[in-house]
Amino acid sequence: MNKEITPKTSGMALIVDDDLTVRILARETLEQAGFIVTDIADGAQALSAFEQVKPDIILLDVMMPGTNGFTVCKQIRRHPDGKNTPILMMTGLDDVDSIKQAFEIGATDFITKPVNWLILGHRVRYLLRAGQALQELSKSQARLSYALQIARMGSWEWDIENDELHWSEEACQIFNIDPVGLEGSYHAFLNSVHPLDKEFVSSQLEEALRNNKPYSIDHLILLPNGTERYVHTEAQIFSDNDGRPVKMTGTVQDITERRNTEQQIRYLAYYDNLTGLPNGVLFKENLQHAIAYAERHNRKVATLFLDLDRFKRINDTLGHTTGDKLLQGIAERLTQCIRKHDHVTREDPTQTLGSIARLGGDEFTILLDDMCHSQDAAKVALRIIEKTAHPFELDGHEVFVTASIGISVYPNDGKDIVTLIKNADTAMYHAKDLGRNNFQYYAESMNATAFERLMLETQLRKALEREEFMLYYQPQVNIQSGTIIGFEALIRWQNPELGMVAPSTFIPLAEETGLIIRIDDWVIATACKQLKMWEDAGLPPVRVAVNLSGQHFSQKNLPETIRKIIAETGINPQYLELEVTEGVLMRNAEETIATLNDLKEMGLSLSVDDFGTGYSSLSYLKRFSLDTLKIDQSFVSDVIDDADNAAIITAIIAMARSLKLKIIAEGVETLEQLDFLRAHGCYEMQGYLFSRPSPEEATTRMLLEGKKFMSWERKADCEKDT
């Protein structure tokens, strides 16, 4: 009778991942490698499973619903039996911050998805062996030394109080330093760290000392001969009875070969050898990530499918070598066409290669993620078509080539990568049918919308030079005296082709394109000139309020711009009021406070527009140098029928009083709204009940005539006037 042979067990492994496919593949791989495997799908159950299984190694997914991998790792590291258990973090995240965070909370190593299952078993056994070597540290110094040599790992000990650093022989070999005459100090160690990583290593060490916790990091070192190496460093801190760190011991491991191998394997698996661009596999992975992000944040993702027109003719005429050079040139131009702001969710926004891929032959795909408007993809497509059409100098030949591009947009044209790519491909063939050298959306209606948006942007860029903008003024009224106390300057755009364009149409586009800065500067200058004209005409002084975009506060030159305008126009700055929204105040609050203080020192008035729609707190508002709160018209419009809005307005008025601020209600259109506001102590208002915004001539007449609005005491008179 044949005796059944039981395979040798490598150890117990625990897999924690919400992806069933990953768990199945990981289980199969590890069982083939001799592990006894337990897998669970819920991070919340991980600690309980750890206590029951007592695994030798844990494979832990980072991104899981509910309790994520970072939290699970922290829980296990806090467990008495989990301090040294190897934890391999599995993540689709490529950003350095996530990797750093994984190591900071105690992860042993990480592996990126999609996992290379062929090497996972070897990787896990290697981590398990390294972990066992650390656990046996106290048992056998000889065994440890041998294991360290095999693993290219050294040890060190730092006497913090005396700044004496002792390196093992293996550590000296890794750093290529002669132990004889070695300067044993922390400064000497830091000199061996690569300049790019010095700040990172120092900050990690300082944080470990400050928190009295161990740390584990990967970083570059620079050998005396100029060679770069990757090392993995782990350290433990020892403190005196007062809790003051006095000693740190740790290990350093040369992981250069492993890192290089991983990078080479990744390159072969995910990148095109000819152009250096990602291949279709990596593009689909990036597209999947972009779709997931877009679904969570209600954004759009565009897939551009590009095919060169008549590329086969170039290959047949000039040969494949020239054709390959042309493809390389196309790849280079594509990377130049994709700008930083075309992408948000990438690991590094300065890198664009992850968004462009070569599928094969003369077919390329481009990913545009985190978009607000589907039409934005048209801008990129036009840049590509224009750039591609320029001639190439190849092997003494001037080569011309054009491109046809198809565009599909998530979620309109598909909600999965297969559908989006297929529909973009279909749209590309439609572009070829229409004569080549153009782009087409998968949805026909999108083409008209895209061109309309592009035309509007083109006209908007010319509007300032053509002097198509004008200012209208809406009076702000004190209802107790009926007098005009000021005006709000509101921009209007009269385009000869488009007619009167609504601010709600062009202001968001101006914000998106950055033109809002120039437009706001024009509004401020024009309002100041008008103030000066009224002053020179002997009219009574009034305050004019101007809305400011939040983009001014990131430019950091707003005070200088306004100071120059005031000097050029010669106005009294107390009659210029700048309005910012509540959301702008709370964005980069510290920098905003500094800017507002500069403006306040000039003598300007400052008000918060649309107050009540943001998330500011009383403590923050006290820090801003404000004069006025403006109650948003969205609250005023429903104040009679909506108890919540009535309560909000009452609270805003009380807040303004407590902060000793003036308050103006916007959008007042009915007597009932006026009566409510007056009854609760708000006496300054603006809205259609008093006057619609008026052009310069009509506004000047109001001032010349000393226009007074009704006393509001007799309803009949009020209705007659309105």
Q: Name the pairing type of β-strands 662-665 and 628-631.
A: parallel
Radius of gyration of the chain (CA): 34
Q: What is the pLDDT of residue 532?
A: 94
Query: Same fold for the domain at 141-262 and the one at 275-451?
Result: no
CATH class of 468-721: alpha beta
Across 37-53, average pLDDT: 92
Q: How confident is the model at residue 2 (pLDDT cuts 50, 70, 90)?
A: very low
| pLDDT for res 17 | 92
Using DSSP, state whether 614 is helix, strand or coil.
coil
Q: In sequence order, what E strands does 67-134 have?
A: 87-91, 109-112
Question: Residue 87: is its pLDDT beyond 60?
Answer: yes
- Quick check: 493 and 466 in contact, CB under 8 A? no
Question: What mean pLDDT, rounded, does the chain reach?
Answer: 85
Output the pLDDT for position 719. 45
What per-residue confidence (pLDDT) applies to 708? Answer: 85
Burial class (CB in 10 A: 0-12, 13-18, 19+), 296: exposed
How far apart CA 457 and CA 455 sit, in angstroms, is 5
Confirm if 562 and 522 have CB atoms less than 8 A apart: no
On whether the CB atoms of residues 661 and 627 are closer than 8 A, the answer is yes
Q: Counting beta carbons within 10 angstroms of the beta carbon of residue 706, is it exposed (0 to 12), middle (13 to 18) or buried (19 or more)?
A: exposed
- In 240-362, which ranges are E strands? 245-254, 300-309, 356-360
Residue type (1 letter), 358:
R
Whole-number Å distance between alpha carbons of 572 and 501: 32
pLDDT band at 268 (very low <50, low <70, confident <90, very high): confident
Query: For the ranges 157-171, 299-313, 500-514, 700-714, which has the lowest average pLDDT?
Result: 700-714
pLDDT bin (cut points 50, 70, 90) of residue 180 is: low
Confidence class for position 363, pLDDT limits 50, 70, 90: very high
Q: Stretch 399-408: mean pLDDT, rounded? A: 93
Residue 146 is predicted with a pLDDT of 60
**How many CB atoms are closer than 10 A to CB 138?**
8
What residue ranges do the domains of the chain occupy?
A: 11-132, 141-262, 275-451, 468-721
Count of alpha carbons within 13 angstroms of residue 153, beta-carbon side? 19
CA nearest neighbour of 113 among 64, 71, 67: 64
Query: Cα separation of 717 and 283, whole Å?
Result: 70
> Residue 482 and residue 543: Cα distance in Å, rounded?
16
Enter the CATH code of domain 141-262. 3.30.450.20
Digit-coded pLDDT (tens) for 448-482: 667 777 788 889 989 988 999 999 999 999 999 89
455 Cβ partners below 8 Å, 6+ apart? none
Q: Are 90 and 111 in contact (CB under 8 A)?
A: yes
Per-residue pLDDT of 289-321, as tens digits, reads 999 999 998 999 999 999 999 898 888 888 889
According to DSSP, the residues that pair with 609 across neighbouring strands are: 581
Average pLDDT over residues 437-447: 82
Residue 192 is predicted with a pLDDT of 86
**Are 490 and 693 a contacting pair, CB within 8 Å?**
yes
**Does the pLDDT at position 347 exceed 60?**
no
- The neighbouring-strand residues paired with 367 are 303
Report the distance separating Cα 469 and Cα 231, nearest Å.
Answer: 61
Predicted local distance difference test score (pLDDT) of residue 341: 47
Could you tell me which residues come within 8 angstroms of residue 159 by beta carbon, excluding any fewer than 6 positions away?
165, 166, 246, 247
Domain 275-451, CATH: 3.30.70.270
Helix axes 46-53, 69-78, angle to 10 degrees: 40
Report the C-alpha gap between 571 and 312 in whole angstroms.
68
Token pair, residue 554, equals 């990131």
Stated length of the chain: 722
Q: What torsion, rounded to 10 degrees, do the Cα atoms 437, 443, 444, 449 define?
A: -90
User: Any residues with CB less than 8 A from the CB of 119 and at least 6 apart, and which?
Assistant: 265
pLDDT at 148: 59
- Domain 11-132 grouped into CATH 3.40.50.2300: yes
Instruction: List C-alpha distances in Å: 371 to 26, 30, 410, 628.
Output: 36, 41, 10, 36
The rounded distance, in Å, linking the Cα atoms of 267 and 511 is: 39
User: By CB neighbour count within 10 A (0-12 exposed, 13-18 middle, 19+ buried), where does 474 fall?
Assistant: buried
**304 - beta bridge partners?**
366, 407
Distance CA 351, CA 95 (A): 12
